[in-house]
Amino acid sequence: MSGGTPHDRFLGRLFLAESPFERLSLEKGFTMESVALADEFNDIFSDRVLNVPLSFIREILKTAQEPGMISFAGGLPNKDLFPVKALRKASGKVFDLYGGAPLQYASSEGLDDLRTFIAERYRKRGVTGIKAENIMITCGSQQALDLLGKILVNEGDTVVLEEPSYLGAIQALSFYRPRFKMVSLNDDGLDVPALKGALAARAKLMYVIPNFQNPSGVSYADENRQAVAEVVRKTKTYLVEDDPYGELRFAGTAKASFMNLCPENTVLLGTFSKTLTPGLRLGWVVLPPELYEKMLIAKQATDLHTNSFAQRLVAQYLKDNDCDAHIAKIVAQYGAQKKAMMRAIAKHLPPEVKTTNPEGGMFLWATLPRGLSSMKLSDLAIENKVCIVPGHPFYVGKKDVSTCRLSFSCVNEDVIFEGMTRLGKAVEKLMASA
């Protein structure tokens, strides 16, 4: 990204030349002049930051906010389901009970009450062996991923990812300049023979989302989990299991965590962002003992501790409210919206477009006929006032693919059907042009 003219680098940072995203970014003030100015100071930047792009989805969300735009793009929880009244009540109670103490500096490990609640909830879900002292509260699970990169990954180390993989993981780990090994994700989970080959390169860590994966919506089958665990147990690789969507299941039955299947190798990430609210930025990481101290050092060096008032607020909310009832409300709504999206796809998209059929979470994954570009589809869709996420940001080293992500979490049935009508016209135009 550091080579070429300022104009080339400008387009590189936007990922996409001559597109609506570029035009929008120009309108928002991210100009070639600003990039050229930054280039004059390139020698002061670290090599790490020069080789990590902007988040494509953060940029695409700006497009989604245009008037009249229907968005299937953002991986956002539905704000109408945030428990505003209960959180407001819990906030007042925190001040009544604790005065100014929650506004003070706090321990780097996190609030004991919150860590205890998380450990107990894992026990109730059948995830064994987790104690409060294994848990560290972080600024979202995204920070936990960054801290793991800090303590484990040197430049050139092998890191294994699903293909496709979560964009935020690609971005966070790219700062540590690893060699990514991609393992194909099938309908029932990881390609196990390919995983064996990837781990043979002495991978430091592998990052997976086995429940309702982002971006695909795929969940690993029980047999696949067992096979993956068997491969990982024979290595010194840490399997980082990210589980932001695990409790958002609206069909099928729960599957075993890797914490049960290969506990010595597993690091578990969790978050309140999808079940409560993302704005509080509260997540956690469950660590094996040999990693905890180094992770604590990295946490202290980064931000001392996670927001102490947010921790106390959530702990009070969880104490005073039935979080299972709240999650059940989310699951019911997302399940209905996912069914509506599947019906709308069947009605308005050509049968050549194939999609996953997730049992939970917030997304499904669409595959266009071979040779068609989801980037071009995205441009055509925006012309029709509907926004999707083309698939290329979820890959490493692939600039154009035939896949795209569709989110159903923030759109009701009427909006879904109108949006799919618009998207269907864009797909038909793309197929006709090809």
pLDDT digits (tens, 9 = 90+) for 361-378: 999 999 999 999 999 999
* DSSP code string of 43-88: GGS-HHHHT-PPPHHHHHHHHHTSTT-EES------GGGS-HHHHH
Task: Determine the pLDDT at residue 20.
Answer: 42
Contact in structure between 319 and 309 (CB atoms under 8 Å) = no
Contact in structure between 373 and 363 (CB atoms under 8 Å) = no
d(CA 66, CA 158): 40
Q: How far is CA 39 from CA 24, 27, 175, 177, in A?
A: 22, 21, 19, 21
Please choose, from the candidates 372, 364, 371, the residue with its C-alpha nearest in 3D space to the C-alpha of residue 345: 364
Contact in structure between 360 and 393 (CB atoms under 8 Å) = no
pLDDT digits (tens, 9 = 90+) for 93-151: 999 999 999 999 999 999 999 999 999 999 999 999 999 999 999 999 999 999 999 99
What distance lies between CA 177 and its chain's CA centroid?
20
Domain boundaries, the chain: 6-50, 56-82+325-433, 84-320
pLDDT higher than threshold 60 for residue 2: no
**How does DSSP classify residue 360?**
B
d(CA 298, CA 305): 11
Task: Determine the pLDDT at residue 17.
Answer: 39
pLDDT digits (tens, 9 = 90+) for 322-335: 999 999 999 999 99
d(CA 417, CA 432): 22
Determine the average pLDDT of the residues in 141-166. Answer: 97
Contact in structure between 326 and 83 (CB atoms under 8 Å) = yes
pLDDT higher than threshold 80 for residue 340: yes
Contact in structure between 168 and 55 (CB atoms under 8 Å) = yes
pLDDT higher than threshold 90 for residue 386: yes
d(CA 399, CA 386): 22
Angle at Cα 301 formed by Cα 299 and Cα 306, nearest 5°?
45
**Fold equal for 56-82+325-433 and 84-320:** no
| CATH level 3 topology of 84-320 | Aspartate Aminotransferase; domain 2 (3.40.640)
| CATH level 3 topology of 56-82+325-433 | Aspartate Aminotransferase, domain 1 (3.90.1150)
Helix axes 20-27, 56-64, angle to 10 degrees: 80
> What does pLDDT average to over the chain?
90
| Token reading at 65 | 């906010």
**Reported pTM:** 0.90
